[in-house]
Amino acid sequence: MQTTFIDFLPKFFPTTATSILEKARQRLWVDGRWNGLPETINPETDIYQYFVTVMNNILQARELHTSATWHSHAQKSPTGAIAKRKPDIFLLDTQKVPKSKTGTIHWRDVLVVGELKQSDANNSKADMQLASYAREVFGAQMNRRFVFGITICGFRMRVWLFDRAGGISSQTFNINDDPKAFLNVIIGFATMYRDDRGALGYDMTISSSRNGIGAITVGSKGFILDEIVYSHPVVSGRATICWKAHKQSEPGTVYAIKDSW
């Protein structure tokens, strides 16, 4: 599964302006570490809120005017999948996610997913868990071309991109020793969602609503997607999906639309 791409971070997360980085570091990076993170992490369950708080503090300090925020959800499985997987953290648009009485979210609402471990000795396990979360995102989001994810093992971070050919990743880096890289990633995800959702992995020719009905543009023609007839949500494969559809101007004519990698 793993292919480390040396230029991964420069390609997908261009350097944020030096002035912006310096302001964020002055506010949040103290004595060689991110303010709010402990010197040691023990046990694993303590780390989720530490990292969520630090990452959201970065977004607030930058005043990005984005509704995307990080959340911890390690004790609950998102709805929308048969498997009961529990991602540690994820990025959500809090303005679009309806509040449930149980606090549960749906896989269709996940923008970026993350897996955290107490030490870097568990990095291979974290990578495999992250890939399983990406599969659930693909299964719940019919307009997703690729999915970003992160692993943080101890203080070492790796950024992943999963598409239908598998996964590629950045080299690992220590978020305390390389605060610039950490800032570029956290700010980058938020600005992608705010400014260019295609860069975050969304197919902008397909739209979907919360009730499962969507629309697709094929060339210059628009179709209403009535229902999914067949779907094969995989990380590695053709990811074929077929819809029953109609044109707005021809409600009585049924079309079949097939999309595959």
Q: Residue 194 to residues 9, 50, 68, 181, 190: CA-CA distances in angstroms? A: 19, 25, 8, 20, 6
Same domain, 62 and 107: yes
State how many domains the chain has. 2
pLDDT-derived band of residue 6, with 50, 70 and 90 as boundaries?
confident
Same domain, 130 and 30: yes
Containing domain of residue 44, as a range?
Answer: 8-200
Predicted local distance difference test score (pLDDT) of residue 144: 92
| Residue 45 neighbours by CB distance under 10 Å | 13
Enumerate residues 6+ apart whose C-beta is below 8 A from 62: 20, 23, 24, 187, 190
Give tens-digit pLDDT for 248-259: 889 899 999 998
Predicted local distance difference test score (pLDDT) of residue 35: 85
What percent of the chain clears pLDDT 70, i.e. is strictly above it?
90
CATH of the domain at 182: 3.90.1570.30
Q: Quick check: 167 and 132 in contact, CB under 8 A?
A: no
Model pTM?
0.89
Q: Is the pLDDT of residue 211 over 90?
A: no
What's the whole-number mean pLDDT along residues 108-134?
89
Q: Whole-angstrom distance between the N-terminal and C-terminal Cα of the chain?
A: 18
Same domain, 54 and 123: yes
Same domain, 142 and 252: no
